């Protein structure tokens, strides 16, 4: 299977700090890739380069058949790359439909087409299996999992098919975290590229198809989750020189 997203030999320095040191990952359609590592491992820097927030010092970004030395935010969005951050960036005082269509409102002859927006919002949520009964509900009144669903629906509505989640279950209870992980899994099952940054290894191995372990700006291992274990990941994170699984 050919990788749909590939970051090759990415390097990024901040003054004298090597944030990324020859880091490479691959992500495939229809799979969840989990990137794990301690704080400072380079996970967020790598994701910001893919989403166009940061420019690498060297390396290659491949999305589909196209190759880039760097991406701007608009180029990343046009390529289908979207990131769901921990704060979700929702307007808490506005309703579900309005949040989904912010910046992409449907109008006809200058008149807002509220009914059509509600209809499309309903379809988006249903297609994504997001349990929100009323699109007129104010976003701030909803649960963490439902709010996560709104953020995803907005990105999918904008054409996102490479979805990055930065600590998607942070500060969520067990039930909400389970619903959010189910949503993430369903996105991959629909053929999207899904990348998650997550510290919870139980959630990683319950959700991800493949796992990339980062330490000190390097990707130590990237392999199918079925061929790894929490024990191996912990060993990698606590030992800079020992990479388990090598013969």
Q: Is residue 107, in this structure, part of any structural domain at all? A: yes
Residues of the chain above pLDDT 70, percent: 96
Number of domains in the chain: 1
CA distance 28 to 41: 22
pLDDT tens for each residue of 220-234: 999 999 999 999 999
Average confidence score pLDDT of the chain:
90
Q: What is the pLDDT of residue 245?
A: 43
Report the CATH number at residue 45.
3.40.50.300
Structure tokens at 225: 């989750």
Contacts 24+ apart (CB under 8 A), 108-112: none
pLDDT tens for each residue of 186-197: 999 999 999 999
Which residue range(s) make up the domain with 45?
30-53+72-238
- Residue 127 in this model has a pLDDT that exceeds 70: yes
pLDDT tens for each residue of 67-122: 999 999 999 999 999 988 777 788 999 999 999 999 889 999 999 999 999 999 99
Give me the phi and psi of 7, to 5 degrees please: -105, 120
């Amino acid at each position: 299977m050919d990788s749909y997203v590939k970051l090759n030999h990415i390097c990024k320095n901040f003054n004298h700090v090597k944030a990324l040191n020859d880091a490479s990952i691959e992500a495939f359609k229809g799979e969840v890739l989990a990137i794990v590592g301690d704080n400072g491992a380079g996970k967020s820097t790598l994701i910001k380069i893919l989403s166009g927030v940061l420019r690498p010092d060297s390396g290659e970004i491949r999305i589909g058949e196209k190759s880039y030395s760097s991406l701007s935010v608009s180029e990343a969005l046009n390529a289908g790359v979207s990131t769901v951050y921990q704060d979700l960036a929702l307007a808490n005082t506005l309703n579900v439909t309005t949040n989904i269509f912010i910046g992409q409102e449907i109008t006809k002859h200058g008149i807002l087409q509220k009914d059509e927006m509600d209809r499309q919002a309903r379809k988006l949520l249903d297609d994504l299996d997001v349990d929100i009964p009323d699109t007129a509900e104010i976003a701030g009144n909803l649960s963490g999992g439902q709010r996560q669903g709104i953020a995803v629906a907005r990105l999918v509505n904008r054409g996102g098919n490479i979805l990055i989640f930065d600590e998607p279950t942070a500060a969520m209870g067990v039930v909400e975290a389970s619903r959010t992980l189910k949503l993430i899994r369903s996105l991959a099952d629909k053929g999207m590229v899904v990348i998650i940054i997550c510290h919870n290894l139980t959630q990683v191995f319950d959700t991800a198809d493949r796992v990339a372990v980062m330490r000190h700006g390097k990707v130590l291992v990237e392999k199918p989750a079925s061929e790894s274990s929490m024990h191996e990941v912990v060993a990698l994170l606590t030992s800079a020189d020992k990479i388990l699984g090598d013969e």
